């Protein structure tokens, strides 16, 4: 079975020969710890992991991502500028126009990318009033040729239907509006200026749809991955009713465009407890969720009983148990993996970025056990 076919069989409740081996990925601080614990620093970590557990370093065991290479970022971006350097911290304007403070151990590239576990303090966001948004929205033109890589049509036509899982990744409306307005500012706007929120969501929906349509015209889409962090421990950041009312139209439109391009997996990636949001997402055509954080209260067995084959999952293995290692790690894997694999629609892995308290030896042993459960060893 090809890697692409295996992934689709897993996520669509089919009959895969094996399950993709996706233990999770480390951040920079995790790699630094691992280098002190035996990981060779001058070579990529993943081939070393496969070799350590007894697989060929180039074995096609994971999810065969392939991206169209299009950009959903603003064009042009704001010029990054350090405004102040004080007490071991930078205060700067980032490429999205926000004013933010960060330790001078890092640079601006750490603000928006999941490179490490970094604390930031936000002072101001680019959209504080409707006129701010109107001035900024011109930076989101779906027809700007700079959004598409050189040779875009050739790149799309060259996607191998056996091995390339064509994945389009972009921000959901809550995530994107939070970037523009800030979390607190956005939540107040839902209550105080709902029409303004609808306008911003509609603008983002139209922009993403425009880019998606260009991609769909050039080739197939196998999977869309919507970045949409909108939940805390035990609760969502906005109610399910507000999610359906304000965000639902965007989800539905994107699913429809992707589906017409052959897409079968419509995934939302949100930290926190997503149980209350899941019925809304299902109603909008979303059929997969990740990373399913255990500490936030997500119970995959309960979700499977409630939603059956309407929702697949990726992740779901408690990072705290992986850090403890040994029997705690094995108990967690046995608690989650065999029951969910038996029902299908599940690719197990660490329930978020792999933190540095998961040691390299523990990560190797965990990956070895996971490899056996997924059929690779």
Name the percent of the chain lying above pLDDT 90.
Answer: 94
Residues 168 and 182 in one domain: yes
Q: At what angle do helices 173-181 and 183-192 cross, to 10 degrees?
A: 110
Regarding whether 288 and 264 lie in a shared domain, the answer is yes
- Give the phi and the psi of residue 109 in degrees, each rounded to 5: -65, -15
Residue where a domain stops, chosen among 125, 142, 159: 125
Give CA–CA dist 377/370, Å, rounded: 9
Lowest mean pLDDT across 13-17, 161-165, 205-209, 356-360: 161-165
pLDDT of residue 108: 83
Both 275 and 149 in a single domain?
yes
pTM confidence score? 0.96
Give yes or no for residue 312 having a pLDDT over 90. yes
- The closest of 282, 303, 306, 178 to 238, measured between CA atoms, is 178
Range of the domain at 112: 79-125
- Same domain, yes or no: 83 and 69: no
pLDDT computed for residue 111 by the predictor: 80
Q: Are residues 136 and 116 in the same domain?
A: no
Q: How many residues does the chain have?
A: 377
- Token pair, residue 366, equals 């965990």
Cβ(66)–Cβ(225) below 8 Å = no
- The 10s digit of each residue's pLDDT in 259-272 is 999 999 999 999 99
Q: Which of 139, 140, 137, 147 is nearest to 168 (CA)?
A: 147
Distance between CA 27 and CA 350 in Å, rounded?
Answer: 13
Task: Please indicate, yes or no, whether residues 182 and 326 belong to a single structural domain of this protein.
Answer: yes
Confidence class for position 242, pLDDT limits 50, 70, 90: very high
Average pLDDT over residues 158-185: 95
Per-residue pLDDT tens digits for 243-296: 999 999 999 999 999 999 999 999 999 999 999 999 999 999 999 999 999 999
- Write the CATH number for 173: 3.20.20.210
Mean pLDDT across the stretch 21-30?
A: 96
pLDDT given for residue 132 in this prediction = 96
Domain count, the chain: 2
Tokens found for residue 241: 């009713």
| The pLDDT of residue 156 | 94
Q: How far is it, in rounded angstroms, from Cα 5 to Cα 98? A: 42
- For all residues of the chain together, what is the average pLDDT? 96
Q: Are 238 and 89 within one domain?
A: no
Say yes or no: 25 and 138 in one domain.
Answer: yes
Q: What is the pLDDT of residue 113?
A: 80
- In this prediction, residue 115 carries a pLDDT of 83
| Same domain for 134 and 121 | no
Residues 68 and 146 in one domain: yes
Residue pLDDT, tens place only, 317-349: 999 999 999 999 999 999 999 999 999 999 999
Model confidence at 117: pLDDT above 90:
no
Contact predicate 317/21, CB 8 Å: no
- Among 314, 310, 331, 313, which Cα is nearest to 322's? 331
- Given a cut of 90, whether residue 124 has pLDDT beyond it is yes
**Whether residue 214 has a cis bond before it, omega within 30° of 0:** no
Among the candidates 62, 95, 125, a domain finishes at 125
Residues 108 and 12 in one domain: no
Peptide bond into 291 cis (omega under 30): yes
Q: Give just the sign of the alpha carbon dihedral 275, 25, 166, 142.
A: positive
Arithmetic mean of pLDDT, 144-167? 93
Check residue 251 and give its pLDDT.
98
Are both 98 and 13 inside the same structural domain? Answer: no
| 235 to 241, 312, 377: CA distances (angstroms) | 13, 20, 38
Which of 89, 107, 125 marks a domain boundary?
Answer: 125
Q: Is the pLDDT of residue 118 over 90?
A: no
pLDDT bracket for residue 162 (50, 70, 90): confident
């Amino acid at each position: 079975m090809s890697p692409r076919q295996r992934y689709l069989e897993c996520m669509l409740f089919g009959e895969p020969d094996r399950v993709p081996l996706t233990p999770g990925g480390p951040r920079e601080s995790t790699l630094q710890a691992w280098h002190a614990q035996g990981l060779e620093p001058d070579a990529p970590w993943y081939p070393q992991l496969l070799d350590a557990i007894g697989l060929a370093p180039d074995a096609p065991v994971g999810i065969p991502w392939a991206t169209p290479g299009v950009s959903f970022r603003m064009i042009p971006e704001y010029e990054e500028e350090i405004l102040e350097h004080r007490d071991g911290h930078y205060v700067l304007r980032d490429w999205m126009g926000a004013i933010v403070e960060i330790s001078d151990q890092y640079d601006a590239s750490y603000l928006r990318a999941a490179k490490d576990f970094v604390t930031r303090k936000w002072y101001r966001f680019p959209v504080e009033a409707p006129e701010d948004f109107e001035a900024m929205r011109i930076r989101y033109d779906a027809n700007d040729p700079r959004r598409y890589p050189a040779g875009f049509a050739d790149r799309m036509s060259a996607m191998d239907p056996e091995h390339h899982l064509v994945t389009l990744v972009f921000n959901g409306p809550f995530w994107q509006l939070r970037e523009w307005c800030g979390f607190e500012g956005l939540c107040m706007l839902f209550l105080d200026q709902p029409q303004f929120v609808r306008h911003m969501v509609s603008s983002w929906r139209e922009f993403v749809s425009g880019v998606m349509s260009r991609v769909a015209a050039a080739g197939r889409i196998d999977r869309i991955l919507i970045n949409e962090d909108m939940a805390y421990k035990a609760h969502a950041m906005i109610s399910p009713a507000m999610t359906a009312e304000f965000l639902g139209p965007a989800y539905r439109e994107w699913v429809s465009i992707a589906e017409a391009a052959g897409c079968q997996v419509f995934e939302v990636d949100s930290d926190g407890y997503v149980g209350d949001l899941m019925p809304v997402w299902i109603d909008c055509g979303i059929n997969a969720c990740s990373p399913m954080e255990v500490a936030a209260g997500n119970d995959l067995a309960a979700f499977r009983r409630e939603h059956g084959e309407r929702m697949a999952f990726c992740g779901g293995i408690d990072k705290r148990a992986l850090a403890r290692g040994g029997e705690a790690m094995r108990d967690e894997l046995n608690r989650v993996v065999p029951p969910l694999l038996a029902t299908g629609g599940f690719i197990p892995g660490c329930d978020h970025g792999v933190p540095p308290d998961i040691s390299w030896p523990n990560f190797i042993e965990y990956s070895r056990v996971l490899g056996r459960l997924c059929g690779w060893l």
